[in-house]
Structure 1
Amino acid sequence: MDGLEEFGAALGGVRVVGLGESTHGTAEFFRLKHRLFEHLVTEHGFRTLATEASASAGPAVDAYVRDGAGDAETALTGLGFWTWRTREVLDLLKWTRSYNRGRPRADRVGFAGIDPQRSGASVARFGPERAGALSVLADAQPGRLPERRAELLAAAEALEAGVSGASGDADRWHARVLARAADVATAEPGERLWRVRDGHMADAVDEAVAAAGGAGVAVWAHNGHVGVRGAALGARLRERYGPAYYALGLFFGEGAFRARRMWPGPWGPRTKRPSRVAVNRIGPAGPDTLEALLAASPGSADARLVDLRSRAHEEWTRWTYPTRTHGAYVTRFVYRRNVMPVVPGKEYDGLAYVPVSTPSRPL
C-alpha cells in the first residue's frame, strides 16, 4: 500500500487516530481499516478500537476479543448495526482475538462502542422494573422521541443516582449509557441532534483513552464524524487532544456500496419499517472533485495514503472540493449527486483512496 511509511512517520505523539469512510458499505474501506489497525497495534502500540456502534453492546465484543468469551459473530450482531455485520468486520474481530491470545492482560487490545444508539444491553441489565420508561431506548432511533425528553432524562438521572457502592461501577456505566441514549433519542432532529450525538461519542472516546492508560485509540466512524468540521466528533477530539488527534478520511473512485434506500421528498424519512439494504452503483467522480484529484495522483492501483501534515505548505490542500458522502441510508435515484464541500488540509490530517469500491459482504 503506497504511503503507509509516510502515514506511520506522521504518528509521532498521536494518541487518537480517526479512521473515516465515505460510505458505510464498502468492503475495501473495511479491509483497509483492518490493515491500518493492525499497523497501529503492532507498530505504534495502539490498544483500543473505538467504533461508531452500540456503546451498550460494546462490552460483549470487548469480552470476546480480550478473553475469547462467547462467539465473535454473536457479539458482532449484538452491536445492532447492519453496517458492521459483515465478513470484513468479523475478520478484524477474529484477528484481534488471535493477537490477544496468550498475551498479558495489560497488553491486550480492547474494543469500545461509542454510539449511544441501540442500548438494549443496558436496558436488559436493569430489567423492565428498574429501567421503566427507559426500556424504549433499546430500539429508539435518534431524534424520534422529542416529546418525551423531560420524562426520559429524569428517569435516566434517577436510575444513575440509585446506583451505589463499588460493586455498582458497571451499573453506573450502563446508567450513563442510557442517559446519553435518552439525550440522543429526544434531541430535536437536525443540527442539534448531530451536535448531541457527536458530543456523546467524543465523551465515550475520552473514556476509552483514559482506560487505555496512555496507549493509542483508533476511532472507526464515517468521514462526517472523524473530520475536523463544525461540532463533529473529530472537531471535539481536535479541541481536546490538539495535534495528538489525527483524522484520516477515506474516499473511493467508482464501483458499488451497500446502503438502505429511501424515497426522495417528504415521504422519504425513516419512519416505519426500515427500507432494505441494497447495492448502490456509482460511476467515476466528476473532474472537479477530491476523488478525481486523488485518482490522478501517481501511485499503484492498490489503496494509497497521503499525509497532509507533511504537505501543509502545498496550496491544493487549502482549496475547496466537492466530495461524495453516503451514510447508512441513501436517497434512491439522486444519491449519485450527493456531495459536500471539503477543504482537505483543514478537515483532515491524511487521506486514503481506493480506486474501486465493492459492496461489503453481509454475514
Structure 2
Amino acid sequence: MKKRTKHSKIWCIVFGLLGVIVLIVLIFMHFGGFSTGENANPEEFVKYAQSVEDITVPENAKIIALGEATHGNVEFQQLKLDVFKQMVENYGVRALVLEGDYGGCEQVNRYIHGGQGTAQEAAAAIGFDIYRTDEMAELISYMRQYNDNVSDDLDLRFYGFDMQRYAYNFQFLNEACKEQGIDTKILQQLMDGEDWNSEFDYPTRIEIITQIKNELKSKKDSAQAIHFADMLLQYCELQVITDTEGSTLRDRFMAENVQWILQQEQQRGCERIFVTGHNSHVAKWGSFDSMGKLLSSEIDNDYYVIGTDFYRTRCNMPTNSSTKRTNQVFYSHNPLAKTAKMAGLDICWLDFADIPENSELYELISQYTYMGTLGEGYSWFMRLLPPSYRMFQPPAVLYDSMIFVADATPTKIITEK
C-alpha cells in the first residue's frame, strides 16, 4: 500500500509539472511572450500624443502615405477615410491611391463619378476580400457624395497601385482599343481563356500586350489605356518568377505605379496624392526594396509616411486553407502602443518631429522596437514564433509619425449573395 501511494505521488508531480508547462506555453502563445511588453511614461506620452483630427503634414509633401499594421481590423480601414478627409479639406488632395488592383479601382472610380451599382459592389471590384467591408463601402460612398456636390474640376479620384488581378484591366484595355480603332480580336482570345489557362503561354501574352501597347502609343489621349496594358504586363511578369523575387518585383512595380499616378494628378493641377497600404509597403526602410523605401530614396522629403500599430488586436485573417477566415488575438509588444493604452487613449497620433531629443520618447522612437505586422494569412505555428507577426525596427526610421490603436476589432467580410 505504501509503494502504491509513493507511485501516485510521483505521477501527481509529473502531471502537475506537465500542467504548469502547458500553462506556460499557452501564456507565451497568447501574449507572444510572458507579458505584454514594456512601456514608457504615460504622463510624458500624453504631452505629445494628439488626436487623429490634429494630423498635419509638411507643405512640401507630394505623396502622403498611411500604413496599416493589419488588413483585418475595422479601425485601420476607418482611418483611411478619417485621414483622407483631412487631406482633402486641408491639403487639396483629390486622389486616394489604394493597395488594390488598378483596373478594379478604376471600376470604383467610375462608380464615384456616377456609375451604376452600389458602394458594396464597387468595393468588391477591387478584387481582394479585405475590401469587402462596410468600412470600405463607407469610404467609397463618401467620395461619391462629395463628387455629387462639387464641380468637375474639384472631383475626387480613386486609383489602385497593385497588379495582382487582371480581369478589369483586360476589360478596360479592350474598351479603350475599340475606341481607338485598334483590332482587339487577339486580345479577346486572351480574355476568353478561363483563369488564363488558354493556349497562350506568358511570354506570348507579354508579346501580344506589348504589341497593343505600342499601337496605343501612336494614339491621342491614350495614357490610361497604355497603363492598363502596363498592369497586364506587370501581372504576367509576376507569374513567371519565384515568390521571393516576386515580392521585390511587386514593390518595385507598385512604386512605379504610384509615381505614374502622381504625374497624372499633377497634370490636373493637383500636387499631392494620398496613398494607403500595408505598413510593410509604405515604410521608408525595410530589409528589401519596398515600395516606400524606393519612393523615399527617389523623392526624399516629398514622401511623408504615417505608420500605424496596435496594442492588442483581434484580427480577421484567412487560414492556410484560404477557404475560411478566423479572428485571432495578438499583442504587438510595441512600448509606444502599450503606453497609449495605459494612458487611456483609444486612438492617438504621435508626430515624431515634435518629440525632444533628450526625452525618453525620443529614445523609444529612435531605437529598435517591436511593432505588430499582420498580413493575409494565419497559422497556429505563428504563435510559437512571435517575430512572424512583429517587426523589430526603429519607428522613426520607418515613419514620420504613427497612429496607435489600443484595441483593434476585426472586420466583417461581406460575402456575395
TM-score if structure 2 supplies the norm length?
0.75
5 Å matches for 1:253-332?
253-262=311-320, 275-285=322-332, 289-290=333-334, 292-297=335-340, 299-311=343-355, 313=357, 314-332=362-380
5 Å matches for 1:325-340?
325-335=373-383, 337=386, 338=388, 339-340=390-391
Q: Which amino acid aligns with 1:42?
A: E
CA distance in 1, matches of 2:274, 2:263: 13
Q: How many residues align?
A: 341
CA distance in 1, matches of 2:243, 2:337: 34
Pick aligned residue for 2:187 from 123, 131, 140? 131
Residue 45 of structure 1 aligns with which residue?
A: 92
1:258 Cα shift?
A: 1.0
CA distance in 2, matches of 1:351, 1:167: 40
Residue 354 of structure 1 aligns with which residue?
A: 405
1:6 Cα shift?
A: 5.5
What's the RMSD between the two structures over aligned residues? 2.7
Residue 57 of structure 1 aligns with which residue?
A: 104
Identity, in percent, stands at 22
Residue 208 of structure 1 aligns with which residue?
A: 261
Structure 2 residues without counterparts, runs of 5 or longer: 1-48, 176-183
- Out of 238-247 and 305-314, give the one that drifted further: 305-314
Paired residue secondary structure (1:57): helix
Pick aligned residue for 2:229 from 175, 182, 197? 175
Residue 44 of structure 2 aligns with which residue?
A: none
1:350 Cα shift?
A: 1.0
CA distance in 1, matches of 2:186, 2:241: 23
- Out of 318-327 and 17-26, give the one that drifted further: 318-327
**Does residue 1:242 correspond to 2:282, yes or no?**
no
Paired residue secondary structure (2:378): strand
Paired residue secondary structure (2:139): helix
Q: Deviations over 1:189-244 (max 9, x none)?
A: 11x21221111111111122122223321111000000012311111211222111
CA distance in 2, matches of 1:72, 1:85: 10
Paired residue secondary structure (1:259): strand
Q: Is the 8 A contact 2:311 2:406 kept in 1?
A: yes
Pick aligned residue for 2:276 from 220, 229, 233? 220
- Out of 208-217 and 76-85, give the one that drifted further: 208-217
Q: Deviations over 1:137-160 (max 9, x none)?
A: 9857xxxxxxx5534433332231
> In structure 2, do the counterparts of structure 1 residues 11 and 65 end up closer, same or farther at CA, with 3 Å as the change threshold?
farther
1:45 Cα shift?
A: 1.2
Q: Deviations over 1:163-195 (max 9, x none)?
A: 3422654432321221111122223211x2122
1:69 Cα shift?
A: 4.7
Q: Which amino acid aligns with 1:74?
A: E
* Higher helix proportion: 2
Q: Deviations over 1:265-313 (max 9, x none)?
A: xxxxxxxxx613423321444xxx32x3322147543210111233383
Pick aligned residue for 1:188 from 213, 228, 242? 242
Residue 144 of structure 1 aligns with which residue?
A: none
Paired residue secondary structure (2:103): coil
Structure 1 residues without counterparts, runs of 5 or longer: 141-147, 263-273
Rg larger for: 2
Moved over 6 A (4+): none
Q: Which amino acid aligns with 1:2?
A: Q
Q: Is the 8 A contact 1:258 1:360 kept in 2?
A: yes
1:48 Cα shift?
A: 0.6
Q: Is the 8 A contact 2:68 2:307 kept in 1?
A: yes
TM-score if structure 1 supplies the norm length?
0.85
- Out of 250-259 and 344-353, give the one that drifted further: 250-259
Residue 158 of structure 1 aligns with which residue?
A: 211
1:245 Cα shift?
A: 0.9
> In structure 2, do the counterparts of structure 1 residues 26 and 135 end up closer, same or farther at CA, with 3 Å as the change threshold?
same
- Out of 342-351 and 332-341, give the one that drifted further: 332-341
